[in-house]
Amino acid sequence: MKKFMRNLLALLVLAFAVSLPVAADKDQPIEVTQLPAKAQQIIHQHFKGIQIALAKKETDLLGQSYEVIFTNGDKVEFNQRGEWTDLKCQTKTVPQALVPSLVATYVKAHYPNTRILELERNDRKGYEVRLSNGYELELNSKGKLVELDHKR
């Protein structure tokens, strides 16, 4: 009986592990009006006049997130509450109003003649910033530099 239960448990664990990748990633195109209100507001205020190529809802084991890709190559990712988590601007700079003050202060003080092209927010770790001069910065949640890389 013990052997049977052990085999049954192993079979269930295996079945769960095999089905996990199938259930983990589900992306589906959506209309912009289906984004959380906060995400819609960010798009209308800071990306006005830029045509949207695709809006999609991503569902995984941790919840939902959203991604909006613009025809000029810009991309914004949002969490399920509609707060931006990743901003990538190909043709211009990340909108200044979306840059947290501690990030703006650090960049202005240390890299005054650069533009912020990408900004990623991680509530636990802080911010990852890619600048127009090729530097990639990682700032903790207090605005202190913890990692620096140069990609040119």
Q: Give the model's pLDDT for residue 19.
A: 55
Whole-model pTM: value is 0.81
Q: How are the residues of the chain apportioned to helix, strand and coil, as percentages rounded to the nearest 5?
A: 30, 35, 30
Q: Give the model's pLDDT for residue 77.
A: 98
Judge residue 107's burial from the number of C-beta atoms within 10 Å of its C-beta, 0-12 exposed, 13-18 middle, 19 or more buried.
buried
Q: What is the pLDDT of residues 61-104, one digit of tens each?
A: 889 999 999 999 999 999 999 999 999 998 889 999 999 999 99
d(CA 95, CA 90): 12
Q: What is the pLDDT of residues 42-63, one digit of tens each?
A: 999 999 999 999 999 999 988 9
Residue-range domains of the chain with CATH: 25-84 (3.40.1420.30), 93-152 (3.40.1420.30)
Q: What is the pLDDT of residues 128-151, one digit of tens each?
A: 999 999 999 999 999 999 999 998
